[in-house]
Structure formats: structure tokens, C-alpha cells
Structure 1
Amino acid sequence: MPQEVKIRINSSQLEGLDKNEIAFKTKGLLYNKKGIYYLKYKEDLEGLKGVETTLKIKEDELTLIRQGQVRMIQEFVLDKQNNFDYHTPYGTLSFQVEVEELNIDVDFFQGVIDLSYQLYNGEELISKNQLNIIYKED
């Protein structure tokens, strides 16, 4: 049975000398299926409004799945480079992500995920990113 949770997301993105920070709160659903946690919520940020985001949370792996006007499946595994395609109404972009830090401490009532990664397009470094996700029972 899904558990309603409050979610707080803090994100920072460093592109060259430009730093972009985003913080928002939302509500979502958390459920556990075969020992894997899933956290679902709807995006409310410009460019992502109405997009459904699902975080598939394993002990040492995080997968971000977006469905809607933008679509992607982005996997985060420590010390591993993963490729993914970002589908938009204007076309598809291919990226690579290299995880530098991934800390996951979650259960059915609360959780914290800290992620630090670099985003590449081919050999070109696009941005350095940090993501902090906290959820707790509503």
C-alpha cells in the first residue's frame, strides 16, 4: 500500500562559472516492491510541469524516471558512467552521467538521498550537479 510523504528537493548545478540552485517541496507516494523503494511525485518546475517523476531507490543505486512531455531514464551508480537519452518535444539529446557520491538512507517512513554527479555530452562536461532529496511520512 502506498504511503503519502512530504518531499523536499534541493538541487544545484554548476555550468562553468554559473551556478543554478533550485529548492522545492511537494507531496508524493512511496511504496516498496520486492525490497525496492519507489518515490513518485509530479514536477512543478518550469519546463517540467505535469511531468511524473519516479525515483527507484535501491541500497546503492538510484534511477530517475520521468514521463510526460519530457521522458528519460537516468541511472546513478557510484563510480560508474551511465548513458541516457533525454526525450523532449523538440528532439532527443544523449548524455552521460558520472556519479561521484551517492548516499542512500531510506525506509518506509523517512529517507535521505545525497547525490553528486557530473553530466557530459560526449567528451564535453556540461555541468557538475548536487541533489539532496528528503522525504518523510505525511
Structure 2
Amino acid sequence: MPAKSAIMLTVESRHSGETYVQKVEGTLYRKENAVYLRYAETDEAMGNTMTTVRIDPQELKIIRHGEVESDQTFAVGRRLPGNYRTPFVSMQLETHTQLIHADVTGATGTLQWNYDLYFDGDFSGDYKIKMSYQEVQSE
């Protein structure tokens, strides 16, 4: 399996009874014990933002760079700090993760995690995220 592959990625986010789905082109990298999924956000609210998801055996980390700057770390059973910044607002956040399931070893893969989100110490809601990808074969 190549160290870097083009992928089609589907991101499904559930929160407060709403489901948001985005389908994007991205890149999958494999480096040491981690797998990275990288893609440009398509949601207008995110502006020009690049998202990187790092999956390793101990935790999951999401880093955003661009108009939205944020980092979130997820580890089952732990409440971990992060941050969220836009040109208009800056907030501390925390995630408390109940579930992480990753199957990212092949040309297709899935990643799922459930967590509670806190902004500046206040409960914001529970989230269920599912990502699935398929490698794109080059012509």
C-alpha cells in the first residue's frame, strides 16, 4: 500500500438530532504508527480551512489550519483540552470521548467516534462522527 493516496472521503456528523454529510476529495498518508486523512473543508462557515485527522493506536487528533484554527484530541474515557479560533472568536474546548473505532488499514476504511463537547467549561452537546474513505485509483 502506498504511503500517500488520493481518497474520496465522506464525513457524517450527528448532533442535536441533525445530520450533516460532506463528501470531499482528500489525501491519506501512512507514517510510522499513524494514519492521516487530510482534506479541505467545504462548509462555508469553515471558510478556507484544511483539516488533518491523525489516527494512532492511543488517540485521535483533529487539527484545522486556515480561517478556522483548532485542535481537538480524543481518547476513550478521557476529557482532553483543545482550542477553537476564528477571526471573530477564540474559545477553549474539551472533549470527553465515549467511543473510537478505527479500521484504516486498507484501500477503504472507516473511522467513528462519539464524544461530548464543552466550550469554556460548559456542555455544548454530544456528537457522533463517522468518516469513511475509498482510495481513488489513478488512471
Write 1 or 2 for the structure with the bigger share of strand.
1
Q: 1:23 aligned to 2:21?
A: yes
Distance in 1, Cα, partners of 2:121 & 2:51: 28
Q: 1:66 aligned to 2:64?
A: yes
Equivalent residue letter for 2:105? D
Residue 3 of structure 1 aligns with which residue? 5
Is the Cα–Cα contact under 8 Å of residues 93 and 121 in structure 2 kept in the other structure? no
Tell me how large the CA RMSD over aligned residues is. 1.3
Q: Provide structure 2 residue ranges, at least 5 long, that are not aligned to the other structure.
A: none
Residue 82 of structure 2 aligns with which residue? 84
TM-score (norm 2): 0.90
The 3-state SS of whatever aligns with 1:47 is helix
Identity of aligned residues (%): 25
Distance in 1, Cα, partners of 2:39 & 2:117: 23
Distance in 1, Cα, partners of 2:120 & 2:24: 34
Deviation track 1:57-97 (CA, whole Å, cap 9, x = no partner) reads 11241100100011011001000001111011013111111
Distance in 1, Cα, partners of 2:64 & 2:102: 20
Residue 97 of structure 2 aligns with which residue? 99
Distance in 2, Cα, partners of 1:38 & 1:88: 24
TM-score (norm 1): 0.91
Which 4+ runs in 1 deviate beyond 2 A? 121-124
